[in-house]
Chains A and B, each alone.
Chain A
């Protein structure tokens, strides 16, 4: 049984999972902090 597909699949699952988590968390943080700052500057 060739091992390469199993290794590639493991690294791919990890890469996709962590990338999704980092990007979604970063975008949510930027968006929410920008909204909070914008709201604070309103009179």
Chain B
């Protein structure tokens, strides 16, 4: 059943019929929500007792961190689907996630470093959370290099897919790092059980996460459409060369 549903979208033409109208909706709603949440967070949230106004960095740092980690989880799932079920779009989607994922991981690292200076008194510490996040960024760079090295455009090499699955080991390490090791980084404020963040920050934070996620979705769709168009060009050129 699930295989039939999954393979219904294996046809690139069918996928494009959904992706083309969906892309502008995701993009514009993502831009609107992200801008709205950032303005709300920057100008209409109170100063925090301990961190002062630097708490406002949470509205860009946390969504970037979640999507940096979520992006690699997406790569790992797509890689499994590519290797096990040989879904033709799985490799394309994993490739499409890599650059946005790396960018969000980089944004998380940079904004975290900027936040660390006034809060901890230092730009960087080699503790579990920061180091494992930096490892994630390097994993992204490695994945991008591996998939670009593949000669088959649009269908990532098996090596890149295996790398995507093995690299997922780092995701629970990032998540648990503040529990396993002593860290300057605070413990998780939002868990499945609840949140220790005040509503005044929590609501705009969730709006920001929603906006960033929609933007991420739009970026992945745009990059998948680019990859599929490149495949069409390549196939057409090959046919023309055969005549």
Contact = CB atoms under 8 A, between A and B. Distances in A.
Contact of B229 (A18, A25, A35): A35
A36 B232 contact: yes
A14 B64 contact: yes
Contact of A21 (B60, B110, B115, B219): B219
Interface residues of B, number: 37
Interface string B94-126: 000001100100110011001101100000000
B61 A25 contact: no
B229 A33 contact: yes
B60 A39 contact: no
Nearest to B230: A32
| A contact face: mostly helix, strand, loop, or mixed | helix
Interface residues of A, number: 24
Nearest to B219: A25
Contact of B222 (A4, A14, A26, A39): A26
A1 B226 CA distance: 46
Interface of A: 1, 3-4, 6-7, 9-11, 13-14, 17-18, 21-22, 25-26, 28-29, 32-33, 35-36, 39-40
